[in-house]
Chain A
Amino acid sequence: MREDNLEMSENVERYLQLDPRSAAISQPPSSSSSAAAFVSPANKSRNCNSPCPDHVLENVLENVLQFLTSKCDRNAVSLVCKSWWRVEAQTRFEVFIGNCYSLSPDRLTHRFKRVRSLVLKGKPRFADFNLMPPNWGAQFAPWVAATAKAYPWLEKVHLKRMFVTDDDLALLAESFPGFKELTLVCCEGFGTSGIAIVANKCRQLKVLDLIESEVTDGEVDWISCFPEGETQLKSLSFDCVDSSINFKALEGLVVRSPFLEKLRTNRFVSLDELHRLMVRAPQLTSLGTGSFSPEDVSQGEQEPDYAAAFRACKSLVCLSGFKEFTPEYLPAISPVCANLTSLNFSYANISPDMLKPIIRNCHNIRVFWALDSICDEGLQAVAATCKELRELRVFPFDPREDSEGPISEVGFQAISEGCRKLESILYFCQRMTNGALTAMSENCPDLTVFRLCIMGRHRPDHVTGKPMDEGFGAIVKNCKKLTRLAVSGLLTDEAFSYIGEYGKLIRTLTVGFAGDSDMALRYVLEGCPKLQKLEIRDSPFGDVGLRSGMHRYYNMRFLWMSSCTLSRGGCRDVAHDLSNVVVEVFGSDDDDDDDFTRDYVETLYMYRSLDGPRKDAPKFVTIL
């Protein structure tokens, strides 16, 4: 903040001098009157030349706008008038782009001149589930090229679902001398060579977080590429880098990183190695434990005191990893349980009996991720202790549609009764009831994110045999803060009429294998005014349903519909009628389909764009 103030006052000085550019600006009546109100004797006496209302206004605005960080507020401010638009553009340091194809890199660099932090999202979420052919797009290359020229002071880049190459990372490392934070979530296209360059060249690096990304093993010892001497590292996450690590170099790095708070290692770091790291970095607040298995199973030698190492980490509040854990060692984390606010067991096949002694001490847990191996019994234990729980995610150990499914509405209902402050839930199961959903809607009114995946398609309430309409209806009706919803199970159009009627704050809706007719889609598109992201698969919605949202699509980030009943003609009509929305159609493969399927649209992905259709679309994508 202090830095910003300094910069602000320098800019104020600049604005007080006569600026040839601003002389040409047209001044709408409203702002000149407000400018008059702001002119004070102090300002007047400081100037060499008498300031136009423009300058005063702009300098005041700059001073005020620096306090605005929320992008919604900034977007609103920029719409007031041209002058405000310009000043806002000058003072926006953090830019968030939810869809990299909604504008071109040039437009970014033309409008915003002082960007220090860039958040960029690429592919839509359904790409994570193999519903999009590879090489669809979302390359980081044009963005890094444009920003390298325009923002040499860039400090932070956060990418999600983008295609990033080693060359891109090299350009980034070379172009931004003050670069501080790199976060890559669900990205691909790069490898250990790229990371090595970033580690080596970005001397101010504070954050290097690689999360759920696919990282090619270039057989480069990237950990050794960090420069000698003290580092600025605050956070280092490499649990998704699935190649072995030079442990000695890692240990050395940790030793010379006194500011390190967050360290997430991969499964190639054994428990005894982890122990050595913890001993050298007891200040850690967040730890990803790697394998959580000792390297050498041979007993006889003195085993390190793992519990002591955990006890020494008095600031530890977040634990994850456990990717190849050995159950006997799990109790070693007990000393930190009472302080934990976040625990991620979702890569560990933990049984109820393993969980109970641990969770019984976790009174402060706010975020808990686990596999369904903990069973309903484990969930009941969570409900009994974790009264502060805000976010729960339970993933399937066996992620196949017809797996047994050890959890059900029993654990779900227990959670709703025990964890009243719940705000976000993701729950995979095979058996659910409307009653449990209704109970949760009544017990947990603070829910903002509700994602239920009943893995067997079209499954009804397993007790009554009825569709899941009433349960989801209760959720949208009673959870008045709901912004994100994912539905599953047997659902008729009725469920969607509830969503349209009550889901007034919903921004993201995920639908699969649900609904009976176009009415369902219409209910949602006509009823949910805040809808931004609508992703639908395998549901009987066609051209009629698609047309019912014509008034909405420009105000949404995107619409995805795959394996529905859309026709090419219908999609073409939409494309024709909405000139600033890009309509892409493609199949699930990158080869051409047979002629007879040409009218059938396998996937529709449409999004608003300021700069028209993209030029980098691969052959298998047709832009209508």
Chain B
Amino acid sequence: MMGSVELNLRETELCLGLPGGDTATPVTGNKRGFSETVDLKLNLNNEPESKVGSTTHDVVTAVSKEKSSCPKDPAKPPAKTQVVGWPPVRSYRKNVMVSCQKTTGGTEAAAAFVKVSMDGAPYLRKVDLKMYKSYDELSNALSNMFSSFTMGKYGGEEGMIDFMNERKLMDLVNSWDYVPSYEDKDGDWMLVGDVPWPMFVDTCKRLRLMKGSDAIGLAPRAMEKCKSRA
């Protein structure tokens, strides 16, 4: 599922200044949520082609195009982006609700928060991996958080990348601007997608969206590990 931010070239200027500075001013009249503001300033994705169809970015831009004459799109975000401590309900209350639900279907007790960093972005986010059921959902959530991030389309069952085919893997990694990698329980940095989703949730300690060029080195190692697991 390709998603891309509809940006004009001016907005894609690299700018590391603090907000409110005199460099690239945000498009007038737009309100954006905070995360979008920072992402735009940092610029990251530079594909000028706009692909209609991804609803994830429709949501992001729907909010930001509030005041301009674009029609509002009250579509709900399809992926659940989870933010720490929001909505602001005390953990005491949340725990009480969990332990007092006689009917099953209460939320799982322990969340699996992992830090997500993106090369070049001066901030970290956290995601609760238990909120998602597949790599696709995670991909959508990350796209929302780091609006220029795109993870490409996963093929195959369970949305897994074909790690066994080295050439295909290298091509894939090459074609992405940012490659999702994760640190597993052994402390190794792996490419996201090499294991079935539930195993990934258990083994992932940290996520990092690496610049494509840096990730090339990971691909062969990922393959090795994958082979040794199989």
Query: Footprint of B on A, CB under 8 Å?
Result: 126, 128-131, 186, 212, 214, 240, 242, 267, 323-324, 346-347, 349, 395-397, 399-402, 428, 453, 455-458, 460, 462, 465-467, 490, 492, 512-513, 516-518, 537-540, 542-545, 563-565, 567, 587-589, 593-594, 596-597, 599-600, 602
Kindly list 5 other residue pairs between chains A and B, CB separation below 8 angstroms, not including A129-B91, A542-B18, A563-B34: A212-B93, A240-B92, A402-B76, A564-B34, A594-B117
Across-interface contacts of A267 in B (CB, < 8 A): 99-100
* Interface size counted on chain B using CB atoms at 8 A: 45
What residues of A have a CB within 8 angstroms of the CB of B82 in the complex? 401
Q: Which residues of B contact A543 (CB under 8 A)?
A: 18
- CB atoms of B31 and A602 under 8 A apart: no
Contacts A465-B66, A594-B117 known; A396 to B122 CB distance under 8 Å?
no
| Contact present for A538 and B34 (CB under 8 Å) | yes
Bound: A301/B156 CA distance, A = 61
Question: B20 and A518: CB pair below 8 A?
Answer: yes
Contact assessment for A596 and B122 in the assembled complex, using a CB-CB cutoff below 8 Å: yes
Contact B122 A129, beta carbon cutoff 8 Å: no
Q: What are 21 A-to-B residue pairs whose CB atoms are below 8 Å? A: A126-B85, A131-B84, A186-B90, A214-B92, A399-B89, A401-B81, A428-B87, A456-B76, A457-B83, A460-B63, A490-B63, A516-B26, A538-B35, A540-B37, A540-B38, A542-B18, A563-B34, A567-B18, A589-B115, A602-B123, A602-B124
**Min distance, Cβ A401 to any Cβ of chain B, angstroms:** 6
> Are B91 and A128 touching (Cβ within 8 A)?
yes
Residue B211 at the A interface, CB < 8 A?
A: no
Complex CA distance for A538 and B115, rounded to whole angstroms: 16
Interface of A is mostly: loop
When chains A and B are docked, how far (Å) is the Cα of A542 from the Cα of B21? 10
Instruction: Give CA–CA (A399, B91) in the complex, Å.
Output: 10
Chain B 93-130 interface residues, beta-carbon cutoff 8 Å to A: 93-94, 96-97, 99-102, 107, 115, 117, 122-124, 126
Minimum distance in angstroms from A549 CB to a CB of chain B: 15
A517 near B86 with CB under 8 A, answer: no
Q: Report the nearest A residue to B125, measured CB to CB.
A: A563
A129-B123 contact, Cβ under 8 Å, with A465-B66, A589-B115: no
| B111 shortest CB reach to chain A, Å | 10
For the complex, give the distance between the alpha carbons of A207 and B85 in Å: 32
Task: Specify which chain A residues have a CB less than 8 angstroms from the CB of B96 in the assembled complex.
Answer: 323, 347
A539 touching B34 in the complex, CB below 8 Å, given contacts A186-B92, A600-B122: yes
- B88 interfacial by beta-carbon distance below 8 Å: yes
B33 with A397: CB separation less than 8 A: no
* B66 lies within 8 A of A400 (CB): no
A602 cross-chain contacts in B, Cβ below 8 A: 123-124
Q: Is the CB of A396 within 8 A of B38?
A: no
CB distance from B66 to the nearest CB of A (A): 7
B198 beta carbon closer than 8 Å to chain A: no
A563 to B85 alpha-carbon distance, docked (Å): 12
Q: Which residues of A contact B99 (CB under 8 A)?
A: 242, 267
* Of A545, A588, A597, the contact of B122 (CB 8 Å cutoff): A597
Closest CB-CB distance, B197 to chain A, in whole Å?
A: 20
A453: B residues at CB distance < 8 A: 87-88
Cα A308 to Cα B107 with chains together (Å): 37
Residues of A within 8 A of B35 (CB): 538
Q: Once the chains are docked, how many angstroms separate the CA of A537 from the CA of B85?
A: 10
Task: Let me know if A396 and B87 touch, CB within 8 A.
Answer: yes
Bound-state Cα–Cα, A573 to B100, Å: 49
